[in-house]
Amino acid sequence: EHTSDFSVGGREVWRVGPPGGVEHRNDTVYLDIVPDARIVWSYVMSLDSRRISASLATVELRPEGSGTRIVITEQGAFLDGYDGMDERRRGTEDLLSNLESYLLGTVEGAH
C-alpha cells in the first residue's frame, strides 16, 4: 500500500511486507515545502504495530555552481533498541544513490 499527498499538512503512508510476515510501515506528515529550497517532514516507522522510530527531517536544496547541493538534517528517536543512526544513514545513502542513478538515466547502483 502507498498513498501520498505531497503538500503542507499532507500525508504519505506506505506499508510493505510478505503475506503473513512482518509489516514495515512509514507514516509521514509534510510540515513545510518551499519549491526549489526545502522540504520538512516528520515520520514514524513501525514493524507490525510496534513503533521503532520517530523523526523530524529537513532537505535543503542550495544552488552550487552549475548544480545543487543537497543538505539533509534528521533528528531521530530510535525506540526500544530497534533501528539506529547507522541503519538510517545507510538507508539515506541508498536513497541518494538511487536518486543519482535516476537523474543520470542509469540503473547501475540502484538498490
* Contacting residues for 92 by C-beta, under 8 A, at least 6 apart: 72, 74
End-to-end CA distance of the chain: 20
pTM for this prediction: 0.83
DSSP 9-48: T-EEEEEE--TTSPPEEEEEEEEEEETTTEEEEEEEEEET
Among residues 54, 44, 2, 45, the alpha carbon closest in space to that of 22 is found at 45
For the record, the C-alpha cell of 54 comes out as 520517530
What would the pLDDT profile of 21-56 be if each residue is shown by its tens digit? 999 999 999 999 999 999 999 999 999 989 999 999
3-state percent breakdown (helix, strand, coil) of the chain, nearest 5: 20, 50, 30
110 confidence band (pLDDT: 50, 70, 90) = very low
pLDDT of residue 109 exceeding 80: no
pLDDT for position 80: 86
Assign 108 a pLDDT band (cuts: 50, 70, 90): low
Q: Measure the CA–CA gap between 36 and 14, rounded to whole angstroms.
A: 25
What is the tens place of the pLDDT at every residue in 61-90? 999 999 999 999 999 999 988 777 888 889
What CATH fold (topology level) applies to the domain 2-82? Alpha-D-Glucose-1,6-Bisphosphate; Chain A, domain 4 (3.30.530)
